[in-house]
Chains A and B, each alone.
Chain A
Amino acid sequence: MNMSVSNPLAGDDVLPAELRELLNSPDGAAFEQALDVMVRQREQRLFRALGQLARDLHNAVRRLGGELSQDGLPDMVADARQHLQEALEMSGNAAHRSIDFAERMLPQADELANNAGEVLKWTEGNEAAAILARHALEFATDCRDGLSDLMLAQSWQDLTGQRIKKVSSFIGTVESSMLELVRLTGALAGSEVPVSVERVTSQEDADRLLSEFGF
């Protein structure tokens, strides 16, 4: 199997040919030396790729840190949470108002139904009064059912409210993860970084640190 095809880090076409030549050579020392050269070259490519990755990551987090420190992540998250809390309260109040209305009207509908029922008993010979009483009874019964449905329908507030609470808690998780990421890379300007975490605040610092590893 030719590794140089599948492995992007092993792009040197000269070395395998040399290696093939050396494999047939009786000189063991030369073979080992050639092998060392090949391994070192591959290591350097790997380190360069890792170095590039580290720089990209550092830049991305530094940008994030800059944006967050400029707008103030804790304030942004607190605002977002506050908005959700307000939405929760507003929807709760609206639902309570609807239930208030249903609770106020239900006994009236009951009373109207009862009264219409009573009146209906005394309408013999008076068709007009009987029709009115029957209509009143039907209307009161329909109102009763409708008000009961209206009250039950307010359970939307509980169902949407539970989702709002979940989003609010998710925002909290995202906030702590982002802060942790920024803290670990030391990129949040002006923030306190624990002594255990080495502070890297600038591209210069990052470059210096990376250069210590040979990048």
Chain B
Amino acid sequence: MKILVVDDFSTMRRIVRNLLVELGFSSALIQEADDGESALTMLRAQSFDLVVTDWNMPNMTGIDLLRAIRAEGALKALPVLMVTAENNRDQIIAAAQAGVNGYVVKPFTAVTLKEKLTKIFERIAASGASA
């Protein structure tokens, strides 16, 4: 499974990558971007199966990246998990309305990340089976 980890902090990208590896994903298939803009360029250039993105980033924020993904025909079905310190109600609602697949509030644990990822893949499998 090809995953794109988007965060402006290299420490956080590394932490998320390590957690994903711990959860059984292949490190070689995980790529990183430091803002929404570069993430979008990478998403257009190659195919990914999952995006794990932060909210607060320069140039293009996570919510704008999510909206751009949902607005683009080739990308709109891509699962997006938000991992962010933004935990106010309005922002969570905004993310839900923009079509986020999961929302993890920082600081988080490996268990939470696993739980949200499992839910995302379960829902995708369910919608795929019912389609």
- Are A and B genuine complex partners? yes
Closest Cβ of chain A: how far from B56's Cβ, in Å? 6
> How large, as a class, is the contact surface on chain B?
10 to 19
**CB-CB under 8 A for A158 and B109, given A99-B18, A148-B22:** no
**CB-CB under 8 A for A159 and B18, given A99-B11, A154-B11:** no
Give chain B interface residues in 35-94, CB to chain A under 8 Å: 56, 85
Q: Does A136 have its Cβ within 8 Å of any Cβ on chain B?
A: no
User: Nearest chain-A residue to B58 (Cβ)?
Assistant: A165
Interface centre among B18, B22, B106 (most CB of A within 10 A): B18
Q: Does B119 have its Cβ within 8 Å of any Cβ on chain A?
A: no
Closest Cβ of chain B: how far from A162's Cβ, in Å? 6
Q: Quick check: A156 and B107 within 8 Å, CB to CB?
A: yes
A-side contacts of B12, CB under 8 Å = 155, 157-158
Closest Cβ of chain B: how far from A94's Cβ, in Å? 9
B-side contacts of A80, CB under 8 Å = none
Interface centre among A92, A96, A162 (most CB of B within 10 A): A162
A22 CA to B111 CA, complexed, in Å: 87
**CB-CB under 8 A for A152 and B9, given A96-B14, A158-B85:** no
Q: Quick check: B7 and A158 within 8 Å, CB to CB?
A: yes
B-side contacts of A95, CB under 8 Å = 11
Q: Does A103 have its Cβ within 8 Å of any Cβ on chain B?
A: yes
Q: Does B98 have its Cβ within 8 Å of any Cβ on chain A?
A: no
A92 CA to B9 CA, complexed, in Å: 8
Main secondary structure of the interface of A (DSSP, over half): helix
Q: Quick check: A92 and B15 within 8 Å, CB to CB?
A: no
**CB-CB under 8 A for A155 and B56, given A99-B18, A103-B18, A162-B85:** no
B-side contacts of A156, CB under 8 Å = 107
A151 CA to B108 CA, complexed, in Å: 12
B-side contacts of A162, CB under 8 Å = 9, 56, 85
Q: Quick check: A158 and B18 within 8 Å, CB to CB?
A: no
A-side contacts of B56, CB under 8 Å = 162
Closest Cβ of chain B: how far from A30's Cβ, in Å? 66
Q: Does A161 have its Cβ within 8 Å of any Cβ on chain B?
A: yes
Q: Does B10 have its Cβ within 8 Å of any Cβ on chain A?
A: yes
The digit string for A97-119, where 1 denotes a CB below 8 A from any CB of B, is: 00100110000000000000000
**CB-CB under 8 A for A92 and B107, given A148-B22, A151-B18, A159-B85:** no
Q: Does B120 have its Cβ within 8 Å of any Cβ on chain A?
A: no
B-side contacts of A148, CB under 8 Å = 22, 110
**CB-CB under 8 A for A155 and B15, given A92-B9, A92-B10, A162-B56:** yes
Q: Quick check: A152 and B85 within 8 Å, CB to CB?
A: no
A147 CA to B109 CA, complexed, in Å: 13
B-side contacts of A152, CB under 8 Å = 15, 19, 107-110
Known: A92-B9, A162-B9. 15 other contacts (CB 8 A): A92-B10, A95-B11, A96-B10, A99-B11, A151-B15, A151-B18, A154-B11, A155-B106, A155-B107, A158-B9, A158-B11, A159-B107, A161-B9, A162-B56, A162-B85
Enumerate chain B interface residues (CB-CB to A < 8 A): 7, 9-12, 14-15, 18-19, 22, 56, 85, 106-110
